[in-house]
Chain A
Amino acid sequence: MTALLEVENLSVAFGATRAVDGVSFTLAEGETLGLVGESGCGKSTTALALMRLLHNARLGGTALFGGRDLLAADEPAMRRIRGAEIGMIFQDPGTALHPLIRVGDQVAEVVRTHLGLGAAAARARALDLFQKVGIAAPEQRLRAYPHELSGGMCQRVMIAAAIACSPRLLLADEPTTALDVTVQAQILDLIRAVSRDAGSAVILITHDLGVVAGMTDRVAVMYAGRIVESAATDTLFARPSHPYTRGLLGSVPALDSGWDEDLATIPGSVQTAADTPGCRFAPRCPLASDICRESPALLETEPGHLVACWKPA
């Protein structure tokens, strides 16, 4: 498999705060990677940094995408990449769409900008895309404004815009968090189908371990700005090794078991990336000891399974 994206030692700093601190991962063509973690762990910041959508942030490291370094590209080059080679789906479709522009025009704009289509051809392409993402009565919906559509429908419009130029990479940042569970199931099915059809790779950012389990080939777990564990999805769920991953999995209430037992908990609360030396999970970790004052490196414990812990399970 060839690598589509190689992120090496990515760091993002806002003033004195390091939101992302030395993140490295690779993504193969057509692969789906889950980026999991709780609020403030840096998962969305990672995506925004790759798209160069952060202002007032200092970026470090490299991110090779098809041979070009996204972190070093100039703005005109990024404009050609965003929306064309990398499509993006945001969490809240209500605010990511322009409220005063008809949704059909917002999708048409993408193909006019990147593919140079004329107005009529762009409109026809938008209609195609609306059908493809399962929008009922697409002709009428092209003329609708975002507020006239439900949340699920707006998310379909965003997906239509994101896949309009058949991007090689889709970045989906909490794409279903704002949606009801039955609509979430529809949208996840749709993302799966469109990425498979186009052969696009996907980075799926979410806090929901259930969504990750069903959608991804590989998972990277983030905590306080760093990747603490990454592995093939089946491996990670079968043999979670980092105490944070184990704690997260244990604290998800299952639908069918252990109803009368207390849930496993991780004491304390999420820390945002602080410049504390050593393992950042140590203050909450049941296994922490003296050695954890030094930063553990992300090392392979079995083929393809990386863990940053002094005492991996």
Chain B
Amino acid sequence: MSPPLVEVIGLARHYRTGRGVLRALDGVDLSIEQGETLGLVGESGSGKSTLGRTLVGLQVPSLGKVRFDGQDTSLATGEVLRALRRRRQLVFQDPSGALNPRMTIGATLTEHLRVQGWSRSAARTRVPEVLEQAGLPAAFGPRYPHEISGGQRQRAVIARAISTDPDFIVADEPVSALDVSTRAQIINLLRSLQRARGLTMLFISHDLGVVAHTCRQVAVMYLGRIVELAPREALFAAPRHPYTAALLSAVPTADPVRERERSRIILAGETPDPSDPPSGCRFHPRCPLATEICARVDPPMHNVDTVHITACHHPDRVDSLTGRG
């Protein structure tokens, strides 16, 4: 088997703040195989965006390593570093904020390519190509961001990300700012790009339905850690972490009959302050399954079967929450 394209070992990212050290990421291990799309879900403050930015090199880890194609990214310099930037790209949440309002879409894309070492003439032929691949008419090059719709702006941001022919894309909440009807178009575009190019992707979203439709493998984050990781079928059908079970039960479905019938796991309180995480398992103060050991001992990530990983002391009792136990 070839090594994973992206590998993260013991990753931590700490920020000094007025109130102490904020541990945005606090010990993350992860690998993404070539051609795989990994979904990363979690609520605000869980560290998912920080993880995404670290994987494309926009953040430097405080501790731990990021390996890309077998290479320690912290050691890369010069040409190697330039190639790494070309090969790893980011699609932002808010397409309006991610595009310079004073530059045309074409100029933004050209600049991006020029910085990556493309000649002026090569960039000129490349821009209409990628616009088309992102589902925009080539005639959109001379337009400014405010002249096009939100969905079209997100297509422009995606065109920029794929223009350098990357191997790996981090898409950070790429559809959260979009309307429902536009959202589906962008999800379909990302799926087709992923299929056509064999792209490896980290897809960050707080929306589990969106993740289900884009990713075969899903990781759940809580307070700077990954708490569960599994193929989507296993994760959605039989979660092995109570936080995942609660997240799944909280998602409203567009079906009034099922909405009335199902029981929700309502969590007490809200996500604690990441500069002062709880002792033991970070989820224990909100966990309906917590016992004495949970307040004392930080549960390690471990396999419950060959493909399903959880950081919970009581993975077998999660079924009792979802009514399957």
Mark A residues whose CB is within 8 Å of B.
Answer: 38-39, 136, 150, 152-153, 180-186, 188-189, 207-214, 233-234, 237, 247-256, 258-259, 262-266, 269-270
Contacts and interface: CB of A to CB of B under 8 A. Distances in A.
Contact of A234 (B209, B252, B257): B257
Given A254-B209, A269-B150, A269-B152, A211 B252 contact: yes
B208 A248 contact: no
B210 to A, nearest CB: 5
A214 B271 contact: no
A252 to B, nearest CB: 5
6 closest A-B pairs by beta carbon, nearest first, are A210-B252, A251-B184, A214-B259, A180-B43, A253-B209, A263-B184
Contact of B191 (A186, A262, A270): A262
B184 A256 contact: no
Nearest to B259: A214
B252 A208 contact: yes
Interface of B: 43-44, 149-152, 179-185, 187-188, 191-192, 206-210, 212-213, 232, 236, 246-257, 259-260, 264, 266-267, 269-271
A15 to B, nearest CB: 19
A182 B250 contact: yes
B184 A255 contact: no
Nearest to A208: B252
A185 B270 CA distance: 12
Given A181-B250, A269-B151, A234 B256 contact: yes
Contact of A214 (B150, B191, B256): B256
Contact of B213 (A39, A213, A249, A259): A259
Contacts of A188: 252
Contacts of A270: 149, 179, 181-182
Chain B binding surface SS class: helix
Given A183-B43, A207-B180, 10 more contacts: A38-B181, A180-B270, A182-B246, A210-B259, A213-B256, A214-B252, A234-B257, A255-B212, A269-B149, A270-B181
Contact of B260 (A214, A247, A259, A262): A214
A186 B271 CA distance: 13
19 contacts: A38-B179, A39-B179, A136-B269, A182-B250, A185-B250, A185-B252, A188-B252, A237-B256, A250-B184, A251-B180, A252-B180, A253-B187, A255-B248, A256-B212, A256-B236, A258-B213, A266-B184, A269-B179, A270-B181
A240 B81 CA distance: 53
Contacts of A152: 270
Contacts of A259: 212-213, 232
A265 B182 CA distance: 7
A213 B259 contact: yes
Nearest to A176: B252
A247 B251 contact: no
A237 B185 contact: no
Given A38-B181, A207-B179, A252 B250 contact: no
Nearest to B243: A182
Contacts of B206: 180-181
Contacts of B208: 181, 255
Nearest to B271: A180
Contacts of A38: 179-181
Given A180-B271, A263-B184, A265-B184, A253 B259 contact: no
A181 B181 contact: no
A234 B256 CA distance: 6
